[in-house]
Amino acid sequence: MNMLKRVISVVLGICLLLSMTACGATGNTQNQSTEPSQAPEPEAEQTETAATEAKKPVLLVVSFGTSYNETRDATIGAIEADLQAAYPEYEVRRAFTSQIIIDILKEREGLEIDNVTEAMERLVADGVRDVVIQPTHVMPGYEYSDIVEEVSEYTSKFDSLTISNPLLISDEDYDAVVASLVEETAQYNTEGTAIVFMGHGTEHEANAAYERLQKRLNAAGYSNYFVGTVEGTPTVEDVLEGVRASEAQRVVLLPLMIVAGDHANNDMAGDEEDSWKTIFSNAGFEVECVLKGMGEYAGIRELLVSHARAAMEGQKDVILVVSFGTSYYETRKNTIDAIEQDIRAAYPDYEVRRAFTAQTIINILEKRDGYSIENVTQALERMVQEGVKNVILQPTHVMTGYEYDDMVAEASKFEGKFDSLKISRPVLVEDADYEALVSVLAEETEAYNADGTAVVFMGHGTEHEANATYTKLQAQFHLAGYRNYYIGTVEATPSVEDVLEAVKATDASKVVLLPLMIVAGDHANNDMAGDEEDSWKTIFTQAGYEVECVLRGMGSYSGVRQMILDHLSDTIN
């Protein structure tokens, strides 16, 4: 429409000029006072519209950049398009951090792309008041640090200026990237094939992201996936050694970069003797190169869109879900993850975060899997630094024992550092909690509740006075009529010997063992269901019982998750 008005304006101007020329020849000046007043109106409307549009909030997408047109459109262009579709109220603009690429594109094609400083100056000149910066960089390395440094100088020139996160920051980011990489390479994931991702690499400490991603792939069961770098570690030699040990015959090479640019086309897929394709070919592998940048992956774009959303929404109140923790991936996913997901769904106005109380487990996960999980003190310290105002701690512990007491003690050190800091209760505190848990456990084990079967729950046990919880729960089972249900503990009373004696007093011939713990972790897999001579399975088997072990943590029970949600609701309200 603006273009049409511009054309009309030009035509009217030409007509006016011809009319004025004609009038000069005849001496008629009548049209000089009427025609000109009609022409400026479209231009005035266009100027007003442009000024209005310029004041829209701006989402500045900052990429390293690439001089390869096809991959730029398929990756950076696709990211920008997804962001524009997700946030139509924002104007999406582009900036590159690589001045070399900016200069190449300008000289070769006349394509002008702002660097970060130029983009910020333009925003100021256009009168923009609210800006969100969304980097497309893989990690917070030197490029990201430079963005932050450049942009920080403009903080006072806007009503709001927010810098979003690059691709890999949180544990959730790593999980999302692993899921996307695996999904996008599913067709290559066959026996005898190694899938190798080539990242850039850096001397910045952020280079640790590559090792962390490798550990996350391994922890998720993808032992034939490998991550290496061009200019950092792991090197191509490191990856080659790992691939050889895997006994793969075929290697598929892909860039672990947003674009498939110079590094992908030359360092990875080139014919030079030091390219990754040549190195793996010379080592005897069949090699296939996939020139597809990660910006083409829908999952990667979705992650960046979610980062932009978080930046736009600003700092939310936080629900910190505090669990003992487990080093067992599958049960963590089915229990702790499930609890956190239910809380997110129930309270979308809150940001849900995670902390573990078992430092030993935190250390194992960091070293073995690249999972960085905070303890309670670390989680609260980070919230103070980020300016979080309101915090709720929701424990997933079964009872108010030592772990719960320690959590309360740690949290008490932060009194006065938040507008509000609330601590919710664990699973079993009030009488109604015991009644609810018995109902849930009976429902979840209904398939095993038959004549001649003893249903035995194994709890942890503690020297804390809260150990009375187990006796109280046992009484509640009997009160509810479940006299073939038994409660024991690994490290306290009732002991396995106490439970065995009670079961022997019945006519049961079969025993079903289940953990009375949020997760089915080390105790469940070893102390309960292990083959060692002191495991509960062995003890009941040697006593002449048919034994079935159910490795399912209570966090996988929807009823237990609902109890935790109810406790959280009480605390919030």
Q: Span 369-392, mean pLDDT?
A: 93
In this prediction, residues 537-563 reach a mean pLDDT of: 98
pLDDT tens for 250-309 read 999 999 999 999 999 999 999 999 999 999 999 999 999 999 999 999 999 999 999 999
Q: Mean pLDDT score of the chain, rounded to an integer?
A: 91
Per-residue pLDDT band for 385 (boundaries 50, 70, 90) equals: confident
Cβ atoms of residues 188 and 195 within 8 Å? yes
Burial class of residue 128, CB neighbours in 10 A (0-12, 13-18, 19+) = buried
The pLDDT confidence band at residue 55, using thresholds 50, 70 and 90, is confident
If pLDDT is split at 50, 70 and 90, which confidence band does 386 have? Answer: confident
Q: Give the pLDDT of residue 30.
A: 32
* % of the chain beyond a pLDDT of 70: 91
pLDDT of 78 above 60: yes
Write out the two tokens for 27.
Answer: 């001496």
- Closest Cα to residue 139, out of 220, 236, 78, 64? 64
Strands 350-356 and 317-323, bridge-based pairing:
parallel
pLDDT at 325: 97
Query: What token pair was written down for 431?
Result: 């009488």
Most confident stretch, 42-51, 167-176, 444-453? 444-453
More confident residue, 438 or 371: 438
Calculate what percentage of the chain has a pLDDT beyond 90.
87
> Look-up: residue for tokens 């920051």?
169
Of 17-26, 236-245, 414-423, 507-516, give the lowest mean pLDDT range. Answer: 17-26
Going by the DSSP 8-state scheme, the letter that residue 299 receives in this structure is H
Residues acting as catalytic residues = 200
What pLDDT does 32 receive?
33
**In the structure encoding, which two tokens stand for residue 304, read together?**
């960046």
Q: 205-217: buried (b, 16+ CB within 10 Å) or exposed (e) per residue?
A: ebbebbebbbbbb
Query: Dihedral, CA atoms, 513, 516, 518, 524, nearest 10 degrees?
Result: -40
Query: Is 80 exceeded by the pLDDT of residue 41?
Result: no
Instruction: Identify the pLDDT of residue 335.
Output: 98
Alpha helices in 55-115 (DSSP H): 69-74, 76-86, 99-109
pLDDT at 314 (0 to 100): 83
- Note if the bond before 166 is cis, omega within 30 degrees: no
Q: Are the C-beta atoms of residues 278 and 271 closer than 8 Å to each other?
A: yes
Q: Does the pLDDT of residue 74 top 80, yes or no?
A: yes
Q: Reading across the β-sheet that carries 58-63, which strands appear in turn?
A: 91-96, 58-63, 130-135, 160-163
Mean pLDDT confidence for 50-62: 77
Question: What integer pLDDT is reported at residue 3 of this predicted model?
Answer: 35
